[in-house]
Amino acid sequence: MSLGPELISALAGEINQFYANVRIRKAEAAENWLALIFSSAEPLFFSWDPVSYGASLACISEIRALSEIAKGRPPFISAVRAHIVGSDLICASALKRDRILSIEFSKAIGAGFSRKRRLLFEASGRYSNILLLDEDERIIEAAKHIHADTNRYRSLLPGLLYTPPPPLAGIALEDFDPGAANAAEKLAKVVGVGRPLLSVIKKMCEESPEVRADVLGGLDIFRQSGLNGAQTRYFSLEGYITLFPTDLSCGAVKIAARSALEAARHAAILPLLDRIVTRVRKKLGALLENKLAITAGKISDAENRLRERGSADKELLYGKLILANAWKIPPRAPEAELSEWTEGGEVSHSVTLDPEKNAAANAERYFARYRKKTASVARAEKILPALRREAEDLQEQLVLLERQDNPATLSLMAIEIEGMTGKTKKAGGRGKARKAPSLAPHARYELPGATLLVGLSAKGNHHVTFRLAKSDDIWLHAQKIPGAHVILRFEGSPDEAAEAEALETAAACAAYYSKGKEGGSVRVDFTEKKHVRAIPGGGPAHVTYKEFGTITADSALWEKFAEGRPAALPEEKP
């Protein structure tokens, strides 16, 4: 994902509009990103990742999720904290209509004096970089150090004067005349608009005179105003994020965004978050699968021990037969044929003996086996229900993990899953165990006249069922398969049609967050929460319920409902 100079210009305008004179309270960074957290505005995020780069808005939970998986902190963050944190943002600009965003900061140092610093973000694909400059344009620090032996044109090292990239050759956007007869032919030479956008404009010029006039008229608006206003529309051109005053065709996909800073999230932070989600989900899934395999092995072992109950009874019988017939057994006999009388008559048994032991010692040998097997069976009977509940909880957690794509919630789930699987330390075994989260992963959705609460993990299921739900709320769960606990709460007394519609939506939600999602229709049980009970000794989400009804639900209904309707997720204060 990428962005061009036209979006950088729009970003600079919005930063001037919304961030001027706002103080930076905190800064976070990793090897390929920086986040500036302000006292009274949304955080600004900068990514110089070679695959997804740009500047955009971010939220605290996203920054926290990125920070938790960061491999280390670069030296650049120390410079930013020392020189920018506590400063006020003064202004922003796009240098020479190139993909360079310049942001100036000022910090009062007493007696009427202030210290100025400049942050330069170069959004140049795999060459993207971010630098911190002093008042004399000297580099204080850079995320990437560029040496003379790798770049003949310029070096970017602390202590050196900043040298911008080579100037772009072509027609400045301000000098381009969209009304000229040969305007379409000169589009490729325009500076200040990215090549992907110019390519789409040129293709549209070839469609018809009407389309040509419309798109060149839009370019003229762009040239005059810079597109900072309500007229702007945002698009993705095969991963290139841009903006334009009129609709674009030729493969352009419209992005629902209220500002350039919001649209730029598709180039800056969202791809990084997607990669994190994929990586973390894979890691946590492997932990759960491994723990599930271990638990399955314990269940199999316990079930095998239960099957020893019959052989334990035989050990007891053989011991009693040896004692009862000791006078018949010859000394040093390796085997004896001993009989017992049953309702069906006499039954003969071939009993193996230890020739080195007498009858009493051989009987005690069988009694010892009986006691050992009996104790083993008793232990199996005791632990098997708990092991089966543990396996069900692990399966439920695995299903909920597969449905999760929110990095903040995944961060909470990671601590929970690491606790379930015994992996409570950071990667590589270094550092202290992570502190248990104060929030249980769950989500809230607003329906017409009702609220939906959804558990997003084992603890989240317990939280929505036994802490948030009221006794007369409707509790839903996919029938006999792992999945989320869903709570449906009506705000008043809905009519029959509204109640049925809300119940159908809630059941579709339970179907979506269940193991049966891929199978299409899923049977979902529902009852009032007062009929739901936690199983003593079970996992955090293991319950039993009664007086329930069943509805057949389709997870596709929930996907359609939830599209473009973000959930309200619990979030800790930064």
Work out the pLDDT band at 574, boundaries 50, 70, 90: very low
What CATH code is assigned to 2-168? 2.30.310.10
Asked whether 508 and 557 are in contact (CB, 8 A), the reply is yes
Q: Tell which wins on pLDDT, 179 or 371.
A: 371
- pLDDT value of residue 226: 57
- pLDDT value of residue 424: 55
Q: Which residue has the tokens 């762009």?
A: 222
Whether pLDDT at 13 is above 50 = yes
- pLDDT value of residue 541: 59
Structure tokens belonging to residue 156: 């970017």
Burial category of 51 from C-beta neighbours within 10 Å (exposed 0-12, middle 13-18, buried 19 and up): middle
User: Strand 240-244 relative to strand 2-3: parallel, antiparallel, unpaired?
Assistant: parallel
For the chain, the maximum distance between any two Cα atoms, rounded to a whole number of angstroms, is: 123
- pLDDT value of residue 192: 81
| Amino acid (1-letter code) at residue 472 | D
Radius of gyration of the chain (CA): 35
Work out the pLDDT band at 159, boundaries 50, 70, 90: very high
Instruction: State how far the Cα of 486 lies from the Cα of 443, in Å rounded to an integer.
Output: 10
For 497-556, the pLDDT digits (tens) are: 888 999 999 999 999 988 877 767 889 999 999 999 987 765 555 788 888 999 999 888
For 76-116, the pLDDT digits (tens) are: 999 999 999 999 999 999 887 788 999 999 998 877 788 99
Q: Which residue has the tokens 């670069």?
A: 74
State residue 154 phi and psi, 5-degree precision: -155, 155
For 19-74, the pLDDT digits (tens) are: 999 999 999 998 889 999 999 899 999 999 888 899 999 988 888 878 877 767 88
DSSP 3-state of 470: coil
Structure tokens belonging to residue 183: 């305007």
Least confident of 229-243, 341-355, 422-436, 499-513: 422-436
Query: How confident is the prediction for the chain on average, in pLDDT?
Result: 86
Per DSSP, the residues of 72-141 read ---HHHHHHHHHTTTPEEEEEEEGGGSSEEEEEEEEEEETTEEEEEEEEEE--GGG-EEEEE-TTSBEEE
User: Strand 253-255 relative to strand 233-237: parallel, antiparallel, unpaired?
Assistant: antiparallel
Percent of the chain topping pLDDT 90: 39
Structure tokens belonging to residue 182: 């040969």
| Amino acid (1-letter code) at residue 435 | K
Q: Which has the closest alpha carbon to 33: 271, 387, 200, 258?
A: 271
Asked whether 211 and 204 are in contact (CB, 8 A), the reply is yes
Q: Quick one: DSSP state of residue 350?
A: E
Q: Where are the domains of the chain?
A: 2-168, 173-267, 273-437, 440-562
In 307-358, alpha helices (H): 309-324
Asked whether 54 and 45 are in contact (CB, 8 A), the reply is no
- pLDDT value of residue 429: 43
- pLDDT value of residue 165: 87
Angle at alpha carbon of residue 405, lines to 527 and 65, rounded to 5°:
120
Asked whether 65 and 411 are in contact (CB, 8 A), the reply is yes
Work out the pLDDT band at 573, boundaries 50, 70, 90: very low
CA of residue 384 relative to chain centroid, distance = 33
Work out the pLDDT band at 216, boundaries 50, 70, 90: confident
- Give, in order, the Cα–Cα distances in Å from 237 to each of 8, 104, 185, 267, 270: 16, 31, 21, 11, 16
Instruction: State how far the Cα of 148 lies from the Cα of 154, in Å rounded to an integer.
Output: 7
- Give, in order, the Cα–Cα distances in Å from 231 to each of 44, 237, 361, 486: 23, 19, 98, 41
Which residues make Cβ contacts (< 8 Å) with residue 24, sequence separation at least 6? 36, 37, 38, 39, 84, 85, 86, 87, 88, 89, 105
- pLDDT value of residue 236: 92
- pLDDT value of residue 402: 86
CA of residue 447 relative to chain centroid, distance = 24
- pLDDT value of residue 423: 64
Q: Which has the closest alpha carbon to 507: 489, 485, 524?
A: 524
- pLDDT value of residue 568: 60
- pLDDT value of residue 571: 52
Instruction: State how far the Cα of 200 lies from the Cα of 337, in Å rounded to an integer.
Output: 96
Work out the pLDDT band at 184, boundaries 50, 70, 90: confident
Whether pLDDT at 430 is above 50 = no
